[in-house]
Structure 1
Amino acid sequence: MNSNGKISFDFNQPVERKTSQLGWRGGISGNEALMNFCRVMVGTGVLALPLAYKQSGTIVAILLILFAGFFFTYVSCEKIVISALALAKRHGYASLDYGNVAENAFRHSFDSIKRYGWLARLFTNGSILLMQLGIAAVYTVFIKEHFEEIAERIFPSHNLSGSIFFGLALAGCCLIVMIRDLRFITNVSTFGNVAMTIVLIMVIQDLVRPPYASGQHLASPSLPSIIAAAGNVVYAFCSHAVVLPLANKMKEPKEMSGHRGVLSLGCSVVTILYALVGFFGYLKYGDAVRGSVTLNLPDTTFYFIIRIFLVLVVFTSYLIQHFVLVDMTWPRIQNAYGANNFLINYPGTAERMLCIVFVLAAFLLAVLVPDLGRITSLVGVTAGCFLGFIIPAAIHTATFLPEYLADRDYRSLALHMSTNCAFFICGIFFTIAGIYSNW
């Protein structure tokens, strides 16, 4: 608050941090944060974007990707970051995660909503858990469908049902999540990042080379198919849960935002990449494109190896997703039931039992929606819309609306509150319409 009583936040000043609470002194640079952001953004979701072109048509799909890249990712992540930095500056917090930003935005806002801070934190953390669980379910279906492709290559005359491959996927997932050593998980993550880069390069070089499909004839897509395409696009772009951890690790968190910040550059690069992969994937395979474009790759030994490689990559990603799930919930379980004899005597066993519970929950969702294109879209329009549209708008409104009203800054009020209202409307519309279209 300045001498005029105005609550302000100068983005040209570094955030004052309590380094004793942070646990680190230096931090990563803006360039390192940019590379990490792009690496996290570009995952298996990009492989479903050619399907979005099939579902909505080329023009609509490009518009959806541009909309998601700018509004869903850049603008909404910008709202989260500037709200977190403002709250940290005003109230002396060292750093805040997504749930704590939501809680403190409400706690330090209007008197009428202060008491709902805990609910905002609960809803935000619940949405993150739902997103992670949904991604795990997508990975389960992804593994199952690629297992089927691999089996058909090795045993062309097999008559195994889809249930058998679901069982194999479940067994593999249960085994991989038993790994709890952090150093090993870090090495697995590094391997997964390198392997995913190789797979994407191999896939992209196939997509851009002719021959191309002759039939892309979806002239007037229906609203449900456009909503389904939007869900696939949102799923590919959803990375809101990693933005604040990255900002908290930066030497200068203010470099995350701004027109030349990490978010702006990262979203621009990823949006262009996504638009090109989706376009060339649909151009290459036309209306035959499947839930993951890797399922359309040529039936050769080289691409058979690529498919196997990709399954290994997805298993590593599955392990990371479950590590996040357990890392968010296990400490709370220990705090709530710390006196339980079983938790005291067998903490490792109890933690692995929690891992199995999450695996089974993701497996159940995968069985309920066993189609890769549908489940990807469903996760995008539910948890993705919560994290990318509804929650950022609520946080930004609770953080800055009292300031705009107190200062009679009606220009900022009109600009930011109109976008927040639009975010609310988009989030609610896509969630309801998406569930109806995909379930």
Structure 2
Amino acid sequence: MLPIENKLRNPQEMTQNCGVLPAAMGLVSAIFLSLGFFGYVAFGDQVQSTITLNMPRTPFYLVVNLTLVVAAYIGHVVNLYVVVAMLWPGTKRKGRRRFPCLFLTYEMHLEILFRICLVLATYFFAVLVPKLELMIPLIGITAGIMIAFIFPPFFEMLTFWREWRSFENYSRKFFYFKLITNSLIIISAGFIMVFGLYQNLYLIYTTIYS
């Protein structure tokens, strides 16, 4: 989010009520919720890991599959924009120190090659990992839960603990409120992660050895 915010002409519009982030997340959430809801309504318990596998082999649904492929390619490029913005500056800085002549002459070509390697890495990961639809929830329930619910309150307490405890700018009630709410979020997320991890590992085991 930060690389995109830094590129905006008016960065304050990123998180406003009708700003870039709420509008984009609202639209994406509506699309995914609609796809999941209507997909389940159409196919019920027979829905497969990818909704395209349930579609009939007719010209109309062939066009639908092609549009989904195009959307996946475009969405993948947008997602990798943030990854490149985070990784390429450090890679370029180290490359300039070790290979100054090469980066001075072919810097643009090397950046394109770097992007191609990232795309190929994700492609080979998707191809080589069997039962990828089982691995995605496993990563989501672990890394996703930690990044979204455990790390933010933990690092907030780690960063502002002394400032909160000084009671100079914050009251005692505020300190206990933040302590209790952040602790509850971390504990709840921990329970969800443990039970979700157990369920996903059990599902992987039964799928592979059944």
Q: Aligned pair in 2 of structure 1 residues 353, 392: CA closer, same or farther (>3 Å)?
A: same
Could you tell me whether the CA contact under 8 Å between 2:48 and 2:54 is conserved in 1?
yes
Report matched runs for 1:114-153 at 5 Å.
Answer: none
Q: Aligned pair in 2 of structure 1 residues 306, 319: CA closer, same or farther (>3 Å)?
A: same
Cα offset, 1:329, TM superposition: 0.7
Unaligned runs of 5+ in 1: 1-20, 47-273
CA deviations 1:97-143 (Å, max 9, x no partner) are xxxxxxxxxxxxxxxxxxxxxxxxxxxxxxxxxxxxxxxxxxxxxxx
Q: Aligned pair in 2 of structure 1 residues 429, 357: CA closer, same or farther (>3 Å)?
A: farther
Unaligned runs of 5+ in 2: 1-5, 206-210
Residue equivalent to 2:52: 294
SS at match of 1:319: helix
Residue equivalent to 1:377: 137
Give, in whole Å, the separation in 1 of the partners of 2:85 and 2:42.
41
Give, in whole Å, the separation in 2 of the partners of 1:282 and 1:22.
39
Give, in whole Å, the separation in 2 of the partners of 1:280 and 1:41.
14
Amino acid at match of 2:150: I
Residue equivalent to 2:112: 352
Give, in whole Å, the separation in 1 of the partners of 2:138 and 2:153.
21
SS at match of 2:19: helix
Q: Are 1:39 and 2:17 counterparts? A: no
Match of residue 426, structure 1, among 187, 192, 198: 192
Cα offset, 1:300, TM superposition: 2.7
Residue equivalent to 1:331: 89
Give, in whole Å, the separation in 1 of the partners of 2:63 and 2:155.
46
Cα offset, 1:290, TM superposition: 0.9
Cα offset, 1:438, TM superposition: 4.1
Give, in whole Å, the separation in 2 of the partners of 1:352 and 1:365.
20
CA deviations 1:42-84 (Å, max 9, x no partner) are 56xx3xxxxxxxxxxxxxxxxxxxxxxxxxxxxxxxxxxxxxx
CA deviations 1:187-221 (Å, max 9, x no partner) are xxxxxxxxxxxxxxxxxxxxxxxxxxxxxxxxxxx
Cα offset, 1:332, TM superposition: 0.8
Q: TM-score, normalised by structure 1?
A: 0.37
CA deviations 1:137-183 (Å, max 9, x no partner) are xxxxxxxxxxxxxxxxxxxxxxxxxxxxxxxxxxxxxxxxxxxxxxx
Q: Are 1:317 and 2:75 counterparts? A: yes
Q: Determine which structure has greater relative contact order: mean sequence separation of CA pairs < 8 Å that are 6+ residues apart, divided by chain length.
A: 1
Could you tell me whether the CA contact under 8 Å between 1:285 and 1:296 is conserved in 2?
yes
Higher normalized helix content (fraction of residues): 2
Match of residue 306, structure 1, among 46, 64, 87: 64
Match of residue 394, structure 1, among 154, 167, 176: 154
Aligned pairs, number: 189
Amino acid at match of 2:131: D
Give, in whole Å, the separation in 1 of the partners of 2:87 and 2:11.
29
Q: Are 1:30 and 2:14 counterparts? A: no
Q: Aligned pair in 2 of structure 1 residues 416, 326: CA closer, same or farther (>3 Å)?
A: closer
CA deviations 1:326-378 (Å, max 9, x no partner) are 22111111222323132222112221222232223213321343435224323
Could you tell me whether the CA contact under 8 Å between 2:141 and 2:196 is conserved in 1?
yes
Could you tell me whether the CA contact under 8 Å between 2:88 and 2:111 is conserved in 1?
yes
